[in-house]
């Protein structure tokens, strides 16, 4: 890894063509490089044997093909969740998670190192903001696991930008990364295989609706009580619940796509029947789905997850109002798979 070199994953296909021309190489080589990197998962110029040796040497001199150094990796006891802590080229930590499901291989990737939003129950928020990731650093997390899965003839099926950071505060690089991964000459993963999760940055929800993409939108809502939500998610003071719901209704109207609402159930805080009724009232008539997630405990938040019985009761109330709901299986609790937990520990100990 060499931070002085340009990261090749930061380049669009057109950008790469332009760079190659500056190196005295024909632009058509760009597509060969893209196919090698994004479809055959080559991680260095030396591995791209379809290129002339002289061009491989030029690529090695001009570009960095790695932005992530894995420094810690842990797997759940059932082997279905793998979390990797990476060191970026400037030393900042970032992490990503691979989750195995029966018919899916889902990645949860990060858009920032740390986070400025400061959600009280989130380990990333507790560690503070370090910096935005570039589009290439976001892409590299996907390619890291794509290479790993390819070793067993498997492939990434879904990508969720729900790891460290607030994606809509790093909007352009996140969209660039997804557009590149969606490109037919790159990873070629269908647009509906991508989900971006936001705490509710209202102007960006509107902008996202106007983009005309088919990427999925998820909102980390957690409560519809503004006072409670502001204590959990401070940015709610700027973008309160009703503004978020209006933006989501605009998104549905504009795209005809449903919104997923993520709701972390915290025992005795936001998990009562009254909380469920209030949520149902806000979402009535919207094309949406609610993911209920019993809280992932963190050392900086002294609350407990809701019981399975209470989570099911909450779900049944939503369903009685014709709001689709799922109680999501918690994954990787024993390996600190919640956002930012490994990185926060790394920051404390480094």
Q: Which residues of the chain have pLDDT under 50?
A: 333-335, 337, 340
The 3-state DSSP class for residue 114 equals strand
- pLDDT recorded at residue 117: 74
Residue 9, CB half-sphere, CA atoms under 13 Å: how many?
29
Question: Which residues, other chains included, contact 152 with Cβ-Cβ below 8 Å and sequence gap of 6+?
Answer: none
- pLDDT recorded at residue 335: 47
Helices and strands (H and E) in the chain: how many: 12, 14
Asked if 87 and 77 touch (Cβ cutoff 8 Å), the reply is no
- pLDDT recorded at residue 78: 87
- pLDDT recorded at residue 303: 77
- pLDDT recorded at residue 299: 56
Q: Do domains 6-64 and 68-349 have the same CATH topology?
A: no
The class level of CATH for 68-349 reads alpha beta
Cite the beta strand spans of 124-224 per DSSP E.
Answer: 129-132, 158-161, 194-198, 216-220
Domain ranges of the chain: 6-64, 68-349
- pLDDT recorded at residue 1: 76
pLDDT tens digits for range 141-170: 999 999 999 999 999 999 999 989 999 999
- pLDDT recorded at residue 124: 61
The side-by-side arrangement of strands in the sheet containing 288-294 is 68-75, 81-88, 93-100, 105-109, 158-161, 194-198, 216-220, 259-265, 288-294, 325-327
CATH architecture classification, 6-64: Orthogonal Bundle (1.10)
Q: Which of 108, 248, 315, 339 does the annotation list as catalytic? A: 339
pTM: 0.90
Q: Is 211 a catalytic residue?
A: no
pLDDT tens digits for range 31-53: 999 999 999 999 999 999 999 99
Q: Which of 17, 25, 95, 137 does the annotation list as catalytic? A: 95
- pLDDT recorded at residue 300: 58
Q: Is 95 a catalytic residue?
A: yes
């Amino acid at each position: 890894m060499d931070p002085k070199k340009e990261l090749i994953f930061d380049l669009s296909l057109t950008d790469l063509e332009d760079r190659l021309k500056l190196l005295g190489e024909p632009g058509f080589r760009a597509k060969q490089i893209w196919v090698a990197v994004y479809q055959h998962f080559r991680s260095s110029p030396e591995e791209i044997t379809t290129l002339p040796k002289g061009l491989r040497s030029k690529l090695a001199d001009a570009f960095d093909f790695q932005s992530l150094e894995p420094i810690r990796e842990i797997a759940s006891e059932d082997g279905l969740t793998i979390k990797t802590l990476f060191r970026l080229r400037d030393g900042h930590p970032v992490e990503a998670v691979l989750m195995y499901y029966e018919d899916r291989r889902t990645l949860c990737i990060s858009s920032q190192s740390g986070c400025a939003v400061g959600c009280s129950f989130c380990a990333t928020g507790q560690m503070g903001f370090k910096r935005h990731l570039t589009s290439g650093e976001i892409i590299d997390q996907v390619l890291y696991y794509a290479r790993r899965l390819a070793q067993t003839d498997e492939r990434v099926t879904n990508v969720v930008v729900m790891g460290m950071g607030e994606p809509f505060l790093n909007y352009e690089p996140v969209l660039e990364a997804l557009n590149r991964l969606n490109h037919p000459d790159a990873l070629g993963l269908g647009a509906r295989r991508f989900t971006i999760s936001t705490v509710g940055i209202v102007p960006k929800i509107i902008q996202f609706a106007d983009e005309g993409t088919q990427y999925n939108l998820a909102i980390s809502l957690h409560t519809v009580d503004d006072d409670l939500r502001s204590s959990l998610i401070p940015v709610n003071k700027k973008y309160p619940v009703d503004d978020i719901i209006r933006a989501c209704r605009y998104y549905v109207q504009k795209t005809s796509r449903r919104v997923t609402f993520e709701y972390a159930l915290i025992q005795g805080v936001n998990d009562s029947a009254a909380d469920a009724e209030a949520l149902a009232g806000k979402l009535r008539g919207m094309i949406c789905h609610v993911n209920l997630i019993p809280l992932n405990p963190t050392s900086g938040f002294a609350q407990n997850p809701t019981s399975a019985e209470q989570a099911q009761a909450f779900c049944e109330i939503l369903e009685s109002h014709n709001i689709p709901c799922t109680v999501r299986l918690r994954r990787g609790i024993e390996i600190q798979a919640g956002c930012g937990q490994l990185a926060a520990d790394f920051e404390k100990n480094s």
